[in-house]
Each structure stands twice: as structure tokens, then as C-alpha cells.
Structure 1
Amino acid sequence: MLAEFSITPIDRGNEHLSPYVAKTIALIKESGLPYELHAMGTIVEGEPEEVFALIQKCHVNMRQFSSRVSTAIKIDDKVGVTGALQNKVKSVQSQMGAHE
């Protein structure tokens, strides 16, 4: 399963959010799941139970820094597929090379 998610502390006003994102990334690293950080969120890969538990842990962790938290999640769950975090990008890149 791939899950792209972002967790935002809503009541931080004009503060930079990077310190809060860094705390979330620390939890993701601890999980041992493969992940990629992007400008608008983070993608993790793993078994559904692991991924959902991690997202819940990250959401609950953010609540200690904010009384209002927004979590957005997008999931791609294809049974039997592993390595999608890298393979999906490689597939697109190979198609791009074929058309250049």
C-alpha cells in the first residue's frame, strides 16, 4: 500500500510549519517504512495495518502541538504489489525516455 498524507496544525497562525513536519518525519523514520518527503506531503509504503497505524500515530502526535489538526490522506492499495514507491516513478520515467 502507498499512502500520501499531510498533517497540518491549523492553529499555528503565521508560523513556519517545518518544525512540526520534522517531528512527524522523525516518527516516520522510526517506523522503518520506506517513505519520501515532498513539498506538499509524505508518501509511505507498507502493509495497510502498518501504514494506517503510522498515520494515526503521526496525527495524534501533532495534537500535542495544536488544538486543531487537519490530516489529508490519499491511498493506492494494490494487493500483492511491493516496491511501488520507486517502481511507479521508474515506469513513468521509462515512458518519458521513449518519447524524447
Structure 2
Amino acid sequence: MSVLMGISIFPVDKGESLSSFVARAVETIQKSNYPYIVTPMETVVETESIEEALRLAEECFKALEVDCNRIIVNIKIDYRKGKSGRIKGKVESVQKKINQPLNTV
């Protein structure tokens, strides 16, 4: 089983530049040892269960709650039975279909 969670989390009471707060959430995800990828708009992480994904989202929230009075959290969940390694496999599948690597920075 595989759960892909796209999470975007940031405070709205800390000004214009929020990367230090986003970095806290990414550090939380990094410490979890789940596979993940950071994109400009969200971080995608792969867990084995919905419970693990939601627990991780809560840990990210708690990392910001310490000194943030207002926090926005957007979560997308993609659940699929019988599959794993989808964080990498989904990208590779598209690359094969267009016969070239995807445009990356």
C-alpha cells in the first residue's frame, strides 16, 4: 500500500518570506525517514498508511505552532493498494511516455 501526501504548510502572520518556517516542516519530514521530494509549491511524502501521513502532517503543524499564531495547511492524499515506490515511479512513468527526462531545475 502507498499513501502519497502533498503538504503545503506555512504561517500567515510572519511576513513575506516564509522559507525558514517551511524549512522546519521539511526538517520534520526529513527526520521521519519517509521518502519525500520538495517542490516550489508543496512537499510530497510517501508513507505506508493514512495514519502515518496524517501523523506526519500533525508533527509539521506542531513544529510551526510553537511561534506562529495563524497557520495554513493544505493536504492532498493519493492512496493506492498494492503499490509502493510511487513517489519516484509516477515521475518515471511520465518520463517514459514523453521519451525524455522531465524539465527540472
Q: Which structure 2 residues correspond to residues 4-23 of structure 1 after superposition, within 5 A?
A: 4-14=6-16, 16-23=17-24
Using the alignment, how far apart are the partners of 2:59 and 2:11 within structure 1? 15
TM-score, with structure 2 as normaliser: 0.87
Offset, 1:63: 1.2
Alpha-carbon distance in 1 for matches of 2:82, 2:54? 18
Deviation at 1:65, TM superposition (A): 2.5
CA distance in 2, matches of 1:77, 1:94: 23
Counterparts of residues 1-100 of structure 1 (less than 5 Å): 1-14=3-16, 16-47=17-48, 48-97=50-99
> Which structure 1 residue ranges, 5 or more long, are not aligned?
none
Work out the CA distance in 1 between the residues paired with 2:12 and 2:31.
25
Structure with the largest fraction of helix? 1
Runs of 4+ off more than 2 Å: none
| Counterpart-to-counterpart distance in 2, 1:77 and 1:68 | 29
Deviations 1:1-49 (A, max 9, x none): 10001001011122x1111111111111110100000000100001222
Q: State the number of aligned residues.
A: 97
Provide the C-alpha distance between the structure 1 equivalents of 2:5 and 2:85, rounded to a whole number of angstroms. Answer: 13
